Amino acid sequence: MSTGKTSRDKHASNTNTKALLNIDQNHIWHPYSSIDGMQANYLVSSASGVRLTLSDGRQLIDGMASWWSAIHGYNHPQLNQAAQSQLAKMSHVMFGGLTHEAAIKLAQTLVNITPEGLNRVFFSDSGSVAVEVAIKMALQYWQARGNSKRTRILAFRKGYHGDTIGAMATCDPITGMHHIFNDILMKNIFAQAPECSFDEPWQESFFSDFELQFNANKDEIAAVIIEPIVQGTGGMNFYSPVFLRKLSEFCKANDVLLIADEIATGFGRTGKLFACEHAKISPDILCLGKALTGGYLSMAATLCSDAVAEQICSAAPGVFMHGPTFMANPLACAIAQCSIDLLLEDNILEGNALTRVAKIELQLKSELVKCRDLDCVKEVRVLGAIGVVELKQAVDMKIIQPMFVAQGLWVRPFGRLVYIMPPYITSKKDLSVLIDGIFQVLTQYQGTNLERACP
């Protein structure tokens, strides 16, 4: 009797999964995907710690932290409690003319922990919007100064800053994901990507193309935007802190705003609380997102100096012209505060999260190096809790994604990059499983797909 019921339940579960996936395929448009349904999606039924449980019961160790945001893992009891406590008070209230304790406390915390001088906090909905806000701040700043010619942003090739219109216009216009929109985007200026690797001895020539592009367009440039230390989606490139420090000094000397996009790097990912700390700099404008709420809710923040804020408000229209409906959502603010508290909290055995990131970095450097022996691998690089295996050719997602799932792992490559940004709570054992799984999958992949993967 018991066996029959279990069998019926399993059949019902399989039927329900197929029905749900059928609806998904017919009606939901996933990010960077076609509607032809050629690539299947995996149905997640629950998540806890560093594991995703699929509808068929399989568990996957998550190496992606849900696009780098779930730094404390999933279903965290303290984050859950923060959400429940705030929910009992109010889930949302408009931020125009009203304020609330959760936003006030979070703003104070962000001012306290970010680089010196970033005293004004503007909350928004997502990382892309945080960049839009930063760009608008820079443009309105110069309008308020009576200089209407400064309407362009100087960005870097291989950079990525988001998917909305203004943000897309600061992404690499040739190799980036948004080149098909070039004709309608704001015409910005692009300098060569930083060529100096993180530990490479400095050469002045590394900075020459930036100086060339700036000097040729200096009367039009409102701001320089850069991802500090790590160019993320544009290629997972790690570059020297010296470049960032020289860039900050140059911007100050030439009276141009510096925007630091720390949406991917903020909150410990590179081994520092913020990547700007590697170069000991403070930008004029800072963009935060992703890990801000520990992956629980979409939220972002754009911080700026008093000088930027005061200038913007000194001239007509006298206010900053932006206002998201869900700005400073109380539920997101409360969770974000709890997430930051967890990030900085010391415990007897492991210290704070930055201590755990340092341990992850050491293990990645020690164990991921074996991938260099594979013929299809071009380079292996590690910084903080970021491990990157760059291949010689782009992967075929339809082939390699099921291989990772079969290994019990959630790793989502893109282009030539097989990388992991695991939650900071990932144990040494689970990280070894992730690393060994990457090696096994790439070994299998180059064997079954030799001509395509390793020419």
Q: Which residues are catalytic?
A: 32, 160, 261, 290
Between CA 173 and CA 180 the distance in angstroms is 9
Whole-number Cα distances in Å, 323 to 94, 122, 428: 10, 9, 44
Between CA 371 and CA 420 the distance in angstroms is 13
**CB within 8 A of 124, min separation 6: which ones?**
130, 132, 133, 299, 300, 301, 302, 322, 324, 327
Between CA 287 and CA 271 the distance in angstroms is 18
Measured torsion, CA atoms of residues 391, 392, 396, 400, in degrees rounded to the nearest 10: -30
CB distance 421 to 50 below 8 Å: no
Among the listed residues 287, 298, 314, 142, the one whose alpha carbon sits nearest the alpha carbon of residue 228: 287
